[in-house]
Amino acid sequence: MTKPNLLELPVGARLVYLAEGGANVIYRILAPAQMDFDERNDLPVTVSNSLPSTTGTFQVPAKFKGKLLRLRKDTSAGISYQEIARNFDTCIRPLFKPEELVDQELVYLPRGLVQGCNEQLQAAERSGQRPKRRQGVYLSTVEPFGLLITDMTTFSIPGTTLSELKPKWLIQSPSAPPNSRRCRTCALRDMKNQKARKKGLAEEQSFCPLDLVSDRFDNVLRAAQFVKGCKDQPRLAKVLYRNGTLQRLLTHQKALQDVGLYGPPPSSRDKSLAMTLRDCTMFIRMPRDDSGRVEIRLGDLDLKTGAGGKAKYWLDLEHQLIVEDWYAGAKNNVSESECAQQSPRAHSQSSI
């Protein structure tokens, strides 16, 4: 249900573009006095609502510090932020500790703010600063809310590094054939890499998710070598080894194991939640020395739905992995991967 006392983004708040995906744009909320910061070079969008740019007295209230603003794009598959927030509160929030989640909270948007953002996006397109693959799609002018999300960048906490990874399927798909030599994630990666080779494109190199939750430290270290954002991989591996948040995610994936070709209808809430938990992002913010606190949060946890052909895609993809023998790891021209499914290493016991 909608919270009774929703926050309102103050009139005069300045927004600086950070990044965007297919469905959302992320902004940093800054006071006018802070606008001298060079946030990013790729799209330095600054949006003023109604106050003139010379106004320098506005300060971002404390309740907005440590938060980023997420705004919804106008897409055919767009889901209202009220529904996204309701699903997060009822389905995701109860599964994890508050400090384990990239939190999100509805906030009312001042009139004219979205229009100003869209004008800046269009201006950035004209100057060649907006990524080409994102051009032509703008923010929804009928969405009255934004989402305040936990800021996991290093902007406000200097002396830290940020690593990101997608844990994906931490256990094998229940519909994988017996004696499979690839986990679900590695099987899909093999398939995509073969297509990339045929097109002359670079192959993806990544970790096996089974290594992330292995009881052997050297397996976790093997996975950490593929995680971007941290040069001290042994230290990162120690953070990930038997990590409580990863173990909790694994527990929930095991509980929601009716995926692949089996289980409830693809359009059901349980199937949506199960697939959501297999496509989230883990953010790890670490101090550059050993003195500070390591912060780990899970994001990208909007509840996925089977609408718009997504349910059929899930089933078709699993069927393809099976019938084309990608789980078997026996396709021609596919190099031997580091998938833990083909060896007992993922399940053996060890300690640091």
Q: Domain ends where: 151, 170, 200?
A: 151
Could you tell me if residue 156 is inside a domain? no
The phi and psi torsions of 89 (rounded to 5 degrees) equal -65, -40
Residue 67 confidence (pLDDT) above 60: yes
pLDDT of residue 343: 63
The CATH number of whichever domain residue 124 belongs to comes to: 3.30.200
Same-domain pairing of 168 and 122 = no
Q: Domain ends where: 118, 151, 184?
A: 151
**Structure tokens, 241:** 């080894």
CB 298 within 8 A of CB 100: yes
Q: Domain ends where: 104, 131, 151?
A: 151
Residue 134 confidence (pLDDT) above 80: yes
Domain membership of residue 312 as a residue range: 161-347
pLDDT of residue 99: 97
Same-domain pairing of 105 and 178 = no
Tens digits of residue pLDDT in 42-66: 344 445 433 233 334 445 667 788 9
Could you tell me if residue 352 is inside a domain? no
**Structure tokens, 130:** 């907006």
CB 339 within 8 A of CB 208: yes
User: Residue 312 gets which letter from DSSP?
Assistant: H
Angle formed at CA 149 by CA 143 and CA 150, multiple of 5 degrees: 175
Same-domain pairing of 200 and 322 = yes
Regarding pTM above 0.95, the answer is: no
Could you tell me if residue 1 is inside a domain? no
Same-domain pairing of 46 and 165 = no
Closest CA to 101 of 283, 292, 287: 283
What gap in Å lies between CA 143 and CA 83, rounded to an integer? 12
pLDDT of residue 2: 46
Tens digits of residue pLDDT in 211-220: 999 999 999 9
Tens digits of residue pLDDT in 97-124: 999 999 999 999 999 999 999 999 999 9
Task: Provide the number of structural domains found in the chain.
Answer: 2
* 19-28, 33-42, 128-137, 212-221: least confidently modelled range: 33-42
Same-domain pairing of 134 and 166 = no
Could you tell me if residue 321 is inside a domain? yes
Same-domain pairing of 83 and 226 = no
Same-domain pairing of 230 and 116 = no
Task: Write out the E strands in the chain.
Answer: 7-8, 14-20, 24-30, 46-47, 67-72, 104-108, 145-150, 160-165, 281-287, 295-299
Same-domain pairing of 256 and 201 = yes
Mean pLDDT within 323-350: 67
Tens digits of residue pLDDT in 224-252: 999 988 889 999 999 999 999 999 999 99
Mean pLDDT within 314-320: 92
pLDDT of residue 348: 42
pLDDT of residue 182: 94
**Structure tokens, 256:** 């929601």
What is the chain's length?
352
Mean pLDDT within 281-294: 90
Q: Which amino acid is located at 16 in the chain?
A: V
Tens digits of residue pLDDT in 177-189: 998 999 999 999 9
What gap in Å lies between CA 145 and CA 95, rounded to an integer? 25
Q: Which amino acid is located at 320 in the chain?
A: Q
